[in-house]
Amino acid sequence: MTSITLASRVTRMRESPSVAAAQRVRELKSQGREILDLTVGEPDFDTPAHIKAAAVTAMDAGLTKYTPVNGIPVLREAIGKRIREKTGLDYDSGRITIGGGAKQVIFLALMATVEADVEVIVPSPYWVSYPDMVSAHDGTPVVVDCPESEHFLLTPARLEAAITPATRWVILNTPSNPTGAIYTAEQLDGLADVLDRHPHVHVLSDEIYDEITYLDGPVPNLLAVAPRLQDRVFLTNGVSKSYAMTGWRLGYGVGSPELVGAINKLQSQSSSCPSSISQAAAAEALTGDQSFVTESVASYRRRRDITFELLDAIEGLEPVLPQGAFYLFVGCSALIGARTPDGDVLGTDQAVVLYLLDHASVATIQGSAYGADGYFRVSFATSEHVLRSAAAAISTAVSDLTR
């Protein structure tokens, strides 16, 4: 049988490490292994009842057909209102695009703007998909190391040094996956000053975790800090994380009419439009009762504090307390070079992660998948029982190492 020849854009892409890790956990569970899974980047809560009810109402009303490519008017209005509250800026329908999750919206934005000889600045640690999305469209991801000593955040000096005439985008993710780091208004202002000197550079601002924050106030926003950049910032968000709606696949982006029009054109030739039912549910999520967000964030805060305290007590691990999202980025450099009870040497953070999976039945994701060696990521979007059990198992496994 002759196999089909795959396009180079596919062969040069990696499989998403987070998706691969989740699949590995499913395989082990199917074999009868009891795995404490700390890989999944989604809330363990169910979608709130009033949001599900809105979807049922929409179906009963016959909202089961194609919609406009950029979504139903009520959802566009809800998005415009939400963005105005966060940034102080107005976005009419021509500046709003809606897609099958924020991930799809980001992918289409890069598809619309990235080609050969185009560079995209990707601060590291980064969400695993950014570099591969750039590569898929023949662009060059320019990874900029942002060390823990600088709170894993891109500084003006590092941004300035990375910009070339070929730079088209810089990606900002705040709060960050995997670190939970958040830019202050002053830090964003410093980045905006650099961008003023390089008008050919645009910003893709991924704010999918902006409601999940442990700050006293809202997450600072680049557009609120520097509204002059409105036509150069493409802001993406969605309902997956804040409203426990990962499976509904509904995200959105706001930006210049030219970019939004290009994204809509691409979507019209790919998926035609987002799910009509998910759009109705998302409109209710954005405009309805917000108590779920408050309550879930309070739960995440408790889980964060518990997990941080337990892992911080383990010699050789150095967790970083996040300001937002629901992940802990855990330093494990002290374990690299250690010898396992089986006599193997842990040479990388991936080896550490595999050791924890094999010997503690705890699933995590290596920091190198996020462009940061010497760490691993744990998700605390799971029950306190699982978090405590996982921390105890990790502690035992680490104590069994010879260093």
Tens of pLDDT, residue by residue over 143-177, are 999 999 999 999 999 999 999 999 999 999 999 99
Answer whether 244's CB lies under 8 Å from 47's CB: yes
Q: Where are the beta strands (DSSP E) in 226-288?
A: 233-238, 251-254
> Can you give the pLDDT at residue 1?
62
Please tell me the distance from the alpha carbon of residue 75 to that of residue 285, in angstroms, as a whole number: 10
Cis before 220 (ω within 30): no
Please tell me the distance from the alpha carbon of residue 20 to that of residue 375, in angstroms, as a whole number: 18
Please tell me the distance from the alpha carbon of residue 214 to that of residue 366, in angstroms, as a whole number: 25
> Can you give the pLDDT at residue 175?
98
Which residues are CB-contacts of 242 (< 8 A; sequence separation ≥ 6)?
A: 209, 210, 211, 212, 285, 293
Lookup result for tokens 């591969």:
132
Please tell me the distance from the alpha carbon of residue 123 to that of residue 232, in angstroms, as a whole number: 18
> Can you give the pLDDT at residue 20?
72
φ and ψ at 312, to 5 degrees? Answer: -65, -25
φ and ψ at 379, to 5 degrees? Answer: -100, 130
User: CB under 8 Å, gap of 24 or more: what pairs does 185-192 form?
Assistant: 185/220, 185/224, 185/225, 187/153, 187/155, 188/220, 188/221, 188/222, 188/225, 188/226, 189/225, 189/226, 190/155, 190/156, 191/154, 191/156, 191/159, 191/222, 192/222, 192/225, 192/226, 192/228, 192/229
- Regions in the chain scoring below 50 on pLDDT: none
Q: Which amino acid is at 255?
A: G
Instruction: Show the domains of the chain with their CATH numbers.
Output: 8-45+292-398 (3.90.1150.10), 49-287 (3.40.640.10)
pTM exceeds 0.85, yes or no: yes
165 class by beta-carbon count within 10 Å (0-12 exposed, 13-18 middle, 19+ buried): exposed
Which residues are CB-contacts of 29 (< 8 A; sequence separation ≥ 6)?
A: 35
φ and ψ at 88, to 5 degrees? Answer: 80, 5
Residue 400, CA distances (Å) to 107, 330, 395 in order: 43, 19, 9
User: CB under 8 Å, gap of 24 or more: what pairs does 391-394 form?
Assistant: 391/307, 391/310, 391/311, 391/314, 392/310, 393/36, 393/356, 393/360, 393/361, 393/362, 394/311, 394/314, 394/317, 394/356, 394/360, 394/362
Cβ-based neighbour number of residue 92 at 10 Å? 11
Radius of gyration for the chain, computed over Cα atoms and rounded to the nearest angstrom: 21
For residue 294, the Cα-to-chain-centroid distance in whole angstroms is: 20
Residue (of 141, 114, 145, 117) closest to 129 by Cα position: 141
> Can you give the pLDDT at residue 10?
86
How would you classify the pairing of strands 36-37 and 362-363? parallel
DSSP string for 345-381: B--SHHHHHHHHHHHH-EE-EEGGGGT-TTEEEEE--
Please tell me the distance from the alpha carbon of residue 378 to that of residue 353, in angstroms, as a whole number: 10
157 class by beta-carbon count within 10 Å (0-12 exposed, 13-18 middle, 19+ buried): exposed
74 class by beta-carbon count within 10 Å (0-12 exposed, 13-18 middle, 19+ buried): middle
Residue (of 44, 40, 42, 35) closest to 393 by Cα position: 35
